[in-house]
Structure 1
Amino acid sequence: METTREKPIRNVAIVSSVRAGKTSLCEALLYVAGVIPSMGSVTHGTTVSDFEPEELRHRTSTSTSLLQFSWNQTAINLIDPPGARDLLGEPMAALRAVDGAVVVVDGSNSMKSELERLWLKIQELDLPCLVFVNGLDKDGASFESTLETCRQHFDVMSIPVTIPIYEGRRFVGVSDVSSEKIIRSCPTSPKNEQHSLDVDQQELCRDARSRLVETVAETDESLLERYISRSQLTQEELLDGLRRATHTRRFLPAYAGSAVQNVGVWSLLNAIVTLLPSPSERGVAHPWHGTHPGSGVPNNRQGREEEPFSGYVFKTLIDPFVGRLSYCRVVSGTVQADTTLWNSSRQVREKPGHFYTVLGKRHVTVDSVNVGDIVAIGKLKDTQTGDTLCQESAPICYAAIGFPKPIVPFAIEAQSKAEIDKVSLGLHKLVEEDPTLELTRNGETKEMVLSGMGQFHIDLALEKLQRKFGAAVTLHLPKVPYRETITLTSRAQGKYKKQTGGHGQYGDCWLEVAPLARGSGFAFDTRIVGGAIPRNFIPAVEKGVHEALHEGPLCSAPVVDVMVTVYDGSFHAVDSSEMSFKIAGAMAFKKAMETAHPVLLEPVMRVEIDSPSDTIGAVMGDLNARRGRIVSVNAMDHMERITVMVPLSELLRYATTLNAVTGGRASYAMEFDHYDEVPRELTDKIIERRKAERPITVTH
């Protein structure tokens, strides 16, 4: 058993859009650091960080990986989350656990929407960043144009620290602008060679160095004075100023390279150690803001060893064979592996299993962890992603991760009754692993509904359900929970009479049904006088009406917003009973509904859409086609926020359309607002469809 390393620490997330080469970069970093003997391949499924069967099948990252190794006497905790748009919850959680980030951008592709959204999270957290322009060995790749795209989309200045060096059209290395040396490397050796620049390269590098020196000098008054007086900065002054400017996010240091060719990776690895902050540096500049879980009084931690232990869980993994692992960032203090922990988010004690350091799928036990460490903790039964762990004697609770709300719902059915419990258990476990999945049961439609961030997200969850829990399901679009109501006042009699020998059954009542304001629900009253119906039978009439409310006359949807009054009736001294009047009440209500001009109501959602300004017209045109009613349009940074009321039936596949219309750059959230009457021209179609409804199923 080991103890975590007593070395400087860098906690770093590597983030990108899908197919930008993020996982290949992680592989190259491990190779250069001497952790692995050769670089694996995403295509061949041999990388350290992509090892889940779903990742090997789809050839893309689908779950956050942790890679822990050392470089230049520094412990590096590298978090590699997926980059797919449907899986944005994973990198958002990872960014909360780190002190800096490397943003990987494909040098031959345009900026993708998921990276723009991740950048907003990075800005929100005020995280120091480096940018790595990858794939510069590809035809059509351009370092300069990619940096210009970064400047436009990130709204921050990107300054090259290394620049690409080509021989003809072949990408052979990078030039370190600060040292004015060419750094060459190759995919078959982790070592690099440094060479002097030739004449043409000297001019290129000299211009880049001048821009870097000027930019760094402008971030600090004392540096600027020295630069003005000497027209230059020393190497030490330049690197120190570059580091401080990176910490304060004055600009974005940019590095050129190709992960698969192992070019530029050595420089990036050095930059992670020299430019990004340590946990203690980050803690002083940006303390972890928490509260006392009992009083709510603010309680901050600066990430010091002498502070009481606290940790933040940013990832949960559940496997029926391996068990439960909680990935935790140690925010403050130290803790031994055999210590009982206090989960302040849920107010429960947790007795952990082993503590582990992690390299992909390899786990090594450790007997203690210190401030700044990232550790996998086994067997925390009640702890969820976003929870705080701490000492019970010094409680603190950090804010939960603000995950995006799932927007794509599907109804789930087990393929046999025998598998219902297995499906339910497996889905609940998957939701614990991934908070951007949501599992609900619609009591009205009797459907189990799984919601996610997109079709790929749902498909991925069901692949895991099959692999981990052996449960197969079918999918179909969920039913819309329609309602029925009335528009006219109507009266009807319900008379139930049955003679079968001995005591018969007799109940007779007259009901008046009247419409109520939308959202009023149901009300019942009595105007019986003269004992036409004995008082003890009135509740039975109301109970019969209640049961009849469950199925209206149009499409068997629940009836709402009606006032029912019993005003007359008759009884038999011997044959009348509660059951008789309950049946009579239901009969009268159903008859009255038929003549009260029933109408169909549909749920209307309040939707907020954040769209780029250049696609706002297309988005609003599509909303109009969906019977949307625009409430407001407000300008934000490079975006427009549309608030609109849209019927739920028009939104079941909206995510796909919105992505197509905006190139994946828009996002939306919705919540139920009210019920409204379905237009008459649509009512008959809905009624016919509901009567003949048979789900189109997809087997997983």
Structure 2
Amino acid sequence: MKIYKTDQIRNIALVGNAGSGKTTLAEAMLFEGGVINRRGEVTAKNTTSDYLPIEQDYGNSVFSSVLHTFCNDKKINIIDTPGMDDFRGSVISALHVVGCSIVTINTSHGIEAGTESVCRYTEKAGKPMIFAFNQLDHENVNFDQAVDQAKSIFGNKVTVVQYPVNAGPGFDSIIDVLKMKLYKYPADGGKPEILDIPADEKDKADELHNELVEMAAENDEALMELYFDKGTLTEDEMRQGIKLGMIDRSLFPVFCTGAKHNMGVGRLMEFIANITPSPAEAVEVPEINGKTVDKSENAATSLMVFKTTIEQHVGEITYFKVMSGTVKEGQDLIVTKTENKERISQIFVSAGKNRTKVEAMIAGDIGATVKMKDVTVNNTLSEKSARYKFAEVKFPTSRHTVALKAVNEADEEKVGESFQKLHDQDPTFIVEYSKELKQMLVHCQGEYHLNALKWFYTNEYKIDIEFLKPKIPYRETITKSAQADYRHKKQSGGAGQFGEVHMIIEPYIEGVDPKSMFQMNGKEQKLSIRDTQEYPLSWGGKLIYHNCIVGGSIDGRFMPAILKGIMEKMEEGPLTGSYARDIRVYVYDGKMHPVDSNEISFKLAGRNAFSTAFKNAGPKILEPIYNLEVFVQSERMGDVMSDLQGRRALIMGMGSEKGYEKINAKVPLKEMHKYNTSLSSITQGRGMFSISFDGYEKVPQEVQDELLASYAAEQEED
């Protein structure tokens, strides 16, 4: 394969709702470009992308596939992305490295929830969009209605370049208002007959042509002057204006395809080759240190890794975009983040699982390599002379959390090792072991995402796993002061154990000074603070420890042991075993024995005195509260509000943004389990939300009583 120059390369992502025909369109594009000689079908499980076993089982894309094709002496790199929003990480990483997105639409369904989602991602990435109205040979197709719907959502930027003459069963003709020609396809698709526009379509075609000319002219002052002078633009002038409009996202061209029968695909590819921006013209990934990146082929080489995958018999495959210079087989580069040296042993051009070896690639191209030692997604590889570092893919935050457990305890270690492989392939899978909750927590995007995880453990790793509802990281605190003392005494022959501790505890409030006088059991207790130690807690809040011992009732060497006992009980709170926080402790008296007192005695005495005082100090359980932002269509606003009220949400505000109603609320984490599934059900998949931690607040009394009863039952079972 020849080495393509930067201006001969086009990088596109196929994005759209599940079932809109992205994989079928990709197959037709590869066939048109001569990369494959026979078109596969999703139902036959023989497409070039969707080649992984999980994708063939599901009948849907789970990971993105890197492909390529050719048109008009241009190489078109294609990234075919999943349509389900649970796999949006692959969409976002693809948009990070391409110059343009092709948004596929199932015309009989119109603009679906997934269409709106991917268009938001393209907007955030600042990438041009081409709408490919696909499946025009289906029943109940209304192209004009679907275009009107697109315009109502995305505005008049949606501009018709093509429209179908006979959409529905028997579809075979498209009118192109840029070329002002009719494309008539044979029954099995392929090369069309290019004809003049019929008389009965001429008025409609002229009207749409004039609209396209105006939209093209608006993107450049010189073109606007030409348009005013001549009343029209040439095809080349229109191309120039359309490209400028696409780059600044003021124009979204509409094309027509029947990908299953290869209709309209070749003309779409011509448009991509002729008009979409090359890597030299497109919005590119910025260099985060502000360095000017020389993209010429003789400049210092740099690559950005945007995807990895693991394939049987091959191992890990690393996919990269050449950001500058020329990468060559056998070249040594450094990983900018770690300074480790990596050798590019081989370079491949990918077409799904098929890879063609090449000797080099120039800036802007997308390729793959194998046998990288320590390279992950978002790494930049660069020559030492440049040391570039490119902005990372910002993967979406998790929306769904479950606890993961191996059915067989002997498999626990294997579960963790396997998960790392999955995370490398899909960084939106995140795992953590919570020491506090004693659970392995999996953070993901939703139920479909979780099902994919289960598939891998069952089919690839042969490990039986189960998902559990995650525990809530409650906190315990106190609301008033309390006093307690505890004597630990143990005598069993030989040296015994003896330690007695008297303490007072009270809530710690930031900015409030410690007290020197307490009223306890009808008596005043005056304290003299000799030493104060402040401990910020890793789980939030503080412990303030005051040494108020006078007269030597407890030797100073035992004070750390008392603190250790208190801290043990802070880590396993007296109410429910949750972490305790925001407590001030005054140790003011006690007793010791000249022979039997030791550190363990005072640790146990301190622990038990603290536990007793805690239970008498108006103890309260705190629960984590999250900020919730929900976007929902107006007609579903009431249903969403009712659902939130049932989740103990506190509505903080409402507004409108980009055609959606926005709700801001504070919601307890306990009530957010499977919210993603509920919101999708209520809003037919159109609702969106994001959450972020806000803080801890006291639980209602009925919730506290429920938690105390549940913990007591657990303790009895143990």
Q: Which residue of 1 aligns with 2:534?
A: none
Residues 506 and 581 in structure 1, CA contact (< 8 A), matched pair in contact too? yes
Checking the alignment, whether the CA contact within 8 Å between 2:137 and 2:168 is kept in structure 1 is no
Write the distance in 2 (CA, Å) between the matches of 1:591 and 1:541. 14
Q: 1:330 to 1:488 in 2, by over 3 A?
A: same
Q: Per-residue displacement from partner, 1:610-663 (whole Å, max 9, x unpaired)?
A: 444554444344333322223444543334554432211011222122223333
Cα offsets for 1:102-147 (capped at 9, x unmatched): 1111111142233223223322333233211011111221221211
Describe the SS at the equivalent of 1:398. Answer: coil
The equivalent residue for 1:326 is 318
Structure 2 contact 141–167 (Cα < 8 Å) conserved: no
Contact 1:509/1:581 (CA < 8 Å) preserved in 2?
Answer: yes
Aligned to 2:424: 432
2:561–2:603 Cα contact (<8 Å) kept: yes
Deviation, structure 1 residue 224: 4.3
Q: 1:287 to 1:407 in 2, by over 3 A?
A: closer
* Closer, same or farther: CA 46–526 of 1 in aligned 2, 3 Å: same
Residue type of the alignment partner of 1:48: T
The reply on whether 1:138 has 2:135 as its aligned counterpart is no
Please report the RMSD computed on the Cα atoms of aligned residues, expressed in angstroms.
2.5
1:200 aligns with 2:200: yes
Classify the secondary structure of the residue corresponding to 2:369: strand
Aligned runs of 1:158-197 on 2, under 5 Å? 158-166=158-166, 170-186=170-186, 188=188, 190-197=190-197
Contact preservation (8 Å) 1:86, 1:454: yes
- Is the CA contact 1:64–1:90 (under 8 Å) kept in the aligned structure 2? yes
Distance 2:699 2:263 in 1: 61
Q: Does the 8 A contact of 1:603 with 1:676 survive in 2?
A: yes
Partner of residue 585, structure 1: 606
Three-state SS of the structure 2 residue aligned to 1:96 is helix
Match status 1:368 vs 2:360? yes
State the secondary structure of the residue aligned to 1:506: strand
Cα deviation, 1:397-444, whole Å, max 9, x if unaligned, reads 111112110120011111223211111011112112212121111110
Counterpart for residue 573 of structure 1? 594
Q: Map Cα deviations across residues 22-79 of structure 1 (whole Å, 9 max, x no partner).
A: 1111111122223323321112212111111111111111111011122222111111
**CA pair 168-307 structure 1, distance change in 2 beyond 3 A:** closer
Match of 2:103, as an amino acid?
A: V
Find 2:616's aligned residue among 569, 575, 595: 595
CA drift of 1:223 comes to: 4.0
Distance 1:421 1:318, change over 3 A: same
Equivalent residue letter for 2:3: T
**In the alignment, what sits opposite 2:515?**
none
Partners of 1:160 and 1:254 within 8 A in 2: yes
Q: Distance in 2 between matches of 1:504 and 1:128?
A: 79
- 1:46-85 to 2 correspondence within 5 Å? 46-85=46-85
- Distance in 2, matches of 1:548 and 1:238, equals 74
Q: Is the Cα–Cα contact under 8 Å of residues 187 and 262 in structure 1 kept in the other structure?
A: no
Q: Deviations over 1:454-505 (max 9, x none)?
A: 1111111231233333333111111001122222322222112222222222
Task: Tell me what 2:694 maps to.
Answer: 673
Q: Distance in 2 between matches of 1:156 and 1:438?
A: 40
State whether structure 2 residue 582 is matched by structure 1 residue 561. Answer: yes
Partner amino acid for 1:357?
V
Q: 1:614 to 1:459 in 2, by over 3 A?
A: same
Look up the match of 2:529.
Answer: none
Query: Which stretch shifts more, 3-12 or 79-88?
Result: 3-12
CA contact (8 A) 1:505 1:576 kept: yes
Distance in 2 between residues matched to 1:187 and 1:53, nearest whole Å: 32
Whole-angstrom distance in 2 between the partners of 1:56 and 1:640: 38
625, 648, 652: which one aligns with 1:627? 648
Q: State the alpha-carbon separation in 2 of the partners of residues 88 and 441 from structure 1.
A: 25
Match of 1:471 in 2: 463
String of CA shifts for 1:500-546, please: whole Å, max 9, x gaps: 22222222222222222386422222222222222222222222222
Q: Does 1:492 align with 2:484?
A: yes
The one-letter code matched in structure 2 to 1:291 is I
Counterpart Cα distance in 1 of 2:249 and 2:595: 88
Q: 2:107 aligns to what?
A: 107
How far apart, in 2, do the equivalents of 1:387 and 1:197 lie? 52
Task: Provide the C-alpha distance between the structure 2 equivalents of 1:140 and 1:247, rounded to a whole number of angstroms.
Answer: 34
Where do 5+ consecutive residues of structure 1 fail to align? Answer: 293-297, 695-700
Whether the aligned pair in 1 keeps the contact of 2:562 and 2:602 (CA below 8 Å) is yes
What SS class does the counterpart of residue 471 from structure 2 fall into?
coil
8 Å CA contact retained: 1:15, 1:104: yes
The equivalent of 1:697 in structure 2 is: none
1:11–1:78 Cα contact (<8 Å) kept: yes
Q: Quote how far apart the aligned CAs of 1:187 are.
A: 6.5
Q: Out of 435, 438, 458, which is 1:443 matched to?
A: 435
Task: Provide closer, same or farther for how the CA distance between residues 349 and 644 of structure 1 changes in structure 2, counting only shifts above 3 A.
Answer: farther
1:335-366 Cα distance to aligned partner (Å, 9 max, x none): 21211112223433222332111011011222
SS at the partner of 1:301? coil
- After superposition, the Cα gap between the structure-2 partners of 1:179 and 1:499, relative to the gap in structure 1 and judged at 3 Å, is closer
Aligned length: 685
CA distance in 2, matches of 1:677, 1:236: 67
Q: TM-score, normalised by structure 2?
A: 0.90
Contact 1:38-1:188 within 8 A present in 2 as well: no
Give the alignment of 1:325-404 within 5 angstroms: 325-404=317-396
1:21 Cα shift?
Answer: 0.9
What is the match of residue 542 of structure 2? 521
Give, in angstroms, the shift of residue 303 of structure 1: 3.2
Q: Give the whole-Å Cα distance in 1 for the aligned partners of 2:462 and 2:155.
A: 47
**What is the aligned partner in structure 1 of residue 3 from structure 2?**
4
2:454 alignment counterpart: 462
Q: Is the 8 A contact 2:140 2:168 kept in 1?
A: no
| Amino acid in structure 2 at the alignment position of 1:60 | N
Q: Residues of 2 paired with 1:691 and 1:322: CA distance?
A: 53
1:648 alignment counterpart: 669
Q: Is 2:649–2:666's contact at 8 Å kept on the other side of the alignment?
A: yes
Cα deviation for residue 687 of structure 1 reads: 2.5
Tell me, what secondary structure is at the counterpart of 2:334?
strand
Shift of 1:608: 3.2
C-alpha contact 2:64 2:79 (8 A) present in aligned 1? yes
Distance 1:678-1:237 versus aligned 2 partners, 3 A rule: closer
Residue among 537, 543, 549 paired with 2:558: 537
- Measure the CA separation in 2 of the matches of 1:241 and 1:591: 78
1:290 to 277, 281, 287: 287
Using the size of structure 1 for normalisation, the TM-score is 0.92
Matches within 5 A, 1:403-422: 403-422=395-414
Q: Which amino acid aligns with 1:402?
A: K
Q: Which residue of 1 aligns with 2:678?
A: 657
Say whether the 8 Å CA contact 1:634–1:640 is kept in structure 2: yes
- 2:525 aligns with none
Distance 2:442 2:502 in 1: 45
Q: Which moved further from structure 2: 422-431 or 171-180?
A: 171-180
Moved more, 262-271 or 636-645: 636-645
One-letter code aligned to 1:4: I
Deviation at 1:594, TM superposition (A): 2.8
One-letter amino acid matched to 1:687: L
Decide whether the 8 Å contact of 2:328 with 2:344 is kept in 1.
no
Paired residues of 1:280 and 1:304 also in contact (CA < 8 A): no
For 1:303, the equivalent position in structure 2 comes to 295
Structure 1 residue 276: Cα displacement: 0.8
Structure 1 residues 484 and 247: alpha-carbon distance in aligned structure 2, compared to 1, 3 A threshold: closer
Secondary structure class of the residue paired with 1:399 = coil
SS in 2 for 1:170: coil
Distance 2:628 2:567 in 1: 33
Corresponding letter in the other structure for 2:181: K
3-state secondary structure, aligned to 1:94: helix
Aligned to 2:35: 35
